[in-house]
Amino acid sequence: MPDAEFKRDLMKQLPSLRAFAISLVGKMDRADDLVQETVMKAWANRTSFTAGTNIRAWLFTILRNEFYTVFRKRRREVEDADGMIAASVGVHPEQDGHMDLADMQDALSRLPVDQREALVLVTASDMSYEEAAAVCGVAVGTIKSRVNRARAKLSELLKVGEAHEFGPDAATQAIIASR
């Protein structure tokens, strides 16, 4: 594959690489560092990419491997201080059911990392279970059960399924009440 073509295809994947990275690490600056490492690794190994195959899955696999390398290193350094803080503080979704990015980031950070990546790949990156299984290097059935568990946990954390989520908001209720 010519360099120019590889470069163009890699550039096209940058937005979704960033979205995947932020979903994994939760912090924009650290996510962009992860994307930068991924770009450098991908470029260095570009000859091992087979033209015509799935470049997104290939890049996501590199990013994921890079994430785990850094994640493990960091975990040894400080016993995941962020994770411990995240686990001890409750999530407070907005009263009107509207949820901002920070709430989702916070909730995602509370999911076990293997469940988090599975859910993001399948639900947000629109990967098939097979693609996600290939990226994570596990069986399709494993991905399916991780996605299910992650979704259940996330709905709990975001309090999806409670009255205020599906019921009319305060303004609508006021209109109904005034009739």
Partner 1 sequence: MEQFFGGRIIELNRNWLYIKKVDWHLAGNEKMTMTERDTKPPHLKATSKKASAVVNKAVSSKLKAYYDDIAGQQVPDRFIELLDKLDEQSK
* Contact positions vs partner 1 (CB under 8 A): 3-4, 7, 10-11, 14-16, 18-19, 22-23, 32, 35-36, 39-40, 43, 99, 101, 104-105, 108, 119-120, 123-125, 151, 154-155, 158, 160-163, 165-166
CB closer to partner 1, 162 vs 169: 162
**Rounded Cα distance, 167 and 97, in Å:** 9
CB of 83 to partner 1, least distance (A): 19
Nearer to partner 1, 119 or 132 (CB): 119
Q: How far is the CB of 128 from partner 1 (least distance, A)?
A: 15
Minimum CB–partner distance for residue 148 and partner 1 (Å): 9
To partner 1, the closest distance from the beta carbon of 36 in angstroms equals 6
Nearer to partner 1, 31 or 136 (CB): 31
Closest CA to 90 of 145, 42, 147, 159: 159
Smallest gap from Cβ 77 to partner 1, in A, equals 25
Closest to partner 1 by CB, 48 vs 78, is 48
| CB-nearer residue toward partner 1: 70 or 178 | 70
